[in-house]
Amino acid sequence: MTKTRRDNAAGTAPELRLPALKIQQGRGRSLYTFAMDGKLVPQIATVSRIRRDDNTELHGYQRPEVLAHVAAIRRYIETDDSPLLPNAVVIAFDKRVRFEPAPAAVDSPGYVETGTLVIPLIDGPDHRRPGFIVDGQQRCAAIRDANIDAFPISISAFIANDTADQRSQFILVNNTKALPKGLIHELLPGASGALPAPLRVRQLPATLLEMLNFDETRSPLHRMIQTPTNPGGYIKDNSVLRMLENSLSDGALYRFRNDAALPYTGEMFTLLANFWAAVKQVFPDAWNKPPRRSRLMHGAGIISMGYLMDAISHTRGDGDGVIEPDEFAADLKVIADDCRWTEGEWTFSDGAVRKWNEIQNTPRDIQRVADFLQNRYRYSQARRGR
């Protein structure tokens, strides 16, 4: 039975005490399973909304409530047809929550303990609650708003080491669902612990994207990339990620990967910032405009220019040195008159002629523009004897 306790004389905060099972899963990870009235969940857990503060630090990890989904669940719960929500809500608790084991049962398996989960009840702002909802925010919102007295639900919980651990578990729990890719990409840089191989591969480009988007002092792409916390950016995050992944695979960024240890993200960022600063300088009329007005800001432009960055870096590369913006700009200027980012027509080597705004974010068009830029660059270098 649920119990609360308040000891004002001792200065002890009120607590919620819930019968629970502690289940050992994996190496050092415990899962706590219990039931409680869904109407009481807001007293112990809140939703950690993804956002950035004034210093562009990332906080939270949850997307906004989907109001239509919440309304549908609420209507179902309010029916007289014996509504059933069998899936458990997942909550990440901080270390203020503790488990008190009961005397061991004789026939109990070694990986299960019965006992009491003790959860402090904290007054004040929601973010001070000891729990954050990892999965099930729509169901909790529907129960919260439903015109019913109570609705018991099953809850699975774990105690997280820190916010990075919470983010990692949120990504892992939702990895098989239709979670927006942009949300995953924005969370990955701050995630920790064991992630599936496909997510580990994305973590480095996601980290570089975050640096490019939120370094106000050094990045020419500051707040130009569209993400969940920066919805006003003109450049799609997926286009930047593809550009970065290509270069990390076998381009200019590859030599900074340092596969034996941590990658040299500082050198990677400097090279990227220098290149895009040069692009901004050489193509001012096409810079920071919606893709419908500038194909430079379009997926085809971003990805194809990434290939050109790799080609210039290969030509100018000198050991572990980083190419300066004026060096990039000098090489970009020789092909600038051949580019059709905002007007005119592209004439490609395969004979295709396309108006500037007919270029699409397809593999064929991206390859055409990338090949065109690199061929014009190599031709200019050959004429200059380089």
171-192 per-position pLDDT tens digit: 776 665 555 677 777 767 777 6
367/374 Cα distance (integer angstroms): 10
Q: Looking at the structure, do residues 18 and 143 belong to the same domain, yes or no?
A: yes
Segment 363-378 mean pLDDT: 94
pLDDT in tens, 98-111: 999 998 766 777 78
Flag the least confident range among 57-61, 120-124, 248-252, 320-324: 57-61
Phi, psi of 180 (to 5 degrees): -55, 130
Flag the least confident range among 19-28, 140-149, 186-195, 203-212: 186-195
Residue that terminates a domain, selected from 158, 176, 194? 176
Residue 16 lies in domain: 3-176
Segment 252-272 mean pLDDT: 90
Flag the least confident range among 228-232, 267-271, 292-296: 228-232
Segment 239-246 mean pLDDT: 95
220, amino acid identity: P
Q: Looking at the structure, do residues 251 and 105 belong to the same domain, yes or no?
A: no
Q: Looking at the structure, do residues 80 and 159 belong to the same domain, yes or no?
A: yes
Q: Looking at the structure, do residues 9 and 80 belong to the same domain, yes or no?
A: yes
| 3 vs 34, higher pLDDT | 34
Q: Looking at the structure, do residues 197 and 295 belong to the same domain, yes or no?
A: yes
Q: Looking at the structure, do residues 212 and 149 belong to the same domain, yes or no?
A: no
Q: Looking at the structure, do residues 191 and 99 belong to the same domain, yes or no?
A: no
pLDDT band at 9 (very low <50, low <70, confident <90, very high): very low
Q: Looking at the structure, do residues 160 and 308 belong to the same domain, yes or no?
A: no
Query: 50 - beta bridge partners?
Result: none
Does 292 have pLDDT greater than 90?
yes
DSSP state of 232: T
Domain count, the chain: 2
Q: Looking at the structure, do residues 204 and 123 belong to the same domain, yes or no?
A: no
pLDDT of residue 46: 84
> What does pLDDT average to over the chain?
85
| Alpha-carbon torsion, ordered 362, 365, 366, 371, to 10 deg | 160
Segment 135-160 mean pLDDT: 91
Contact status, residue 334 vs residue 308, Cβ threshold 8 Å = no
Phi, psi of 92 (to 5 degrees): -100, 120
Residue whose pair of structure tokens reads 């020789």 in the numeric block: 334
Tokens of 96: 């203020």
Residue 22: how many other CB atoms lie within 10 Å? 19
Q: Looking at the structure, do residues 142 and 237 belong to the same domain, yes or no?
A: no
Max CA pair span of the chain: 87
Q: Looking at the structure, do residues 101 and 210 belong to the same domain, yes or no?
A: no
pLDDT of residue 163: 73
pLDDT of residue 136: 86
Does 61 have pLDDT greater than 60?
no
Residue that terminates a domain, selected from 116, 148, 176? 176
Does 8 have pLDDT greater than 60?
no
What b/e string do you get for 188-198 counting C-beta neighbours within 10 Å, with b at 16 or more?
A: bbbbeeebeee
184/137 Cα distance (integer angstroms): 17
The Cα-based distances of 175 to 62, 160, 172 in angstroms read 13, 18, 5
Residue that terminates a domain, selected from 141, 156, 176? 176
Q: Looking at the structure, do residues 226 and 361 belong to the same domain, yes or no?
A: yes
116/18 Cα distance (integer angstroms): 5
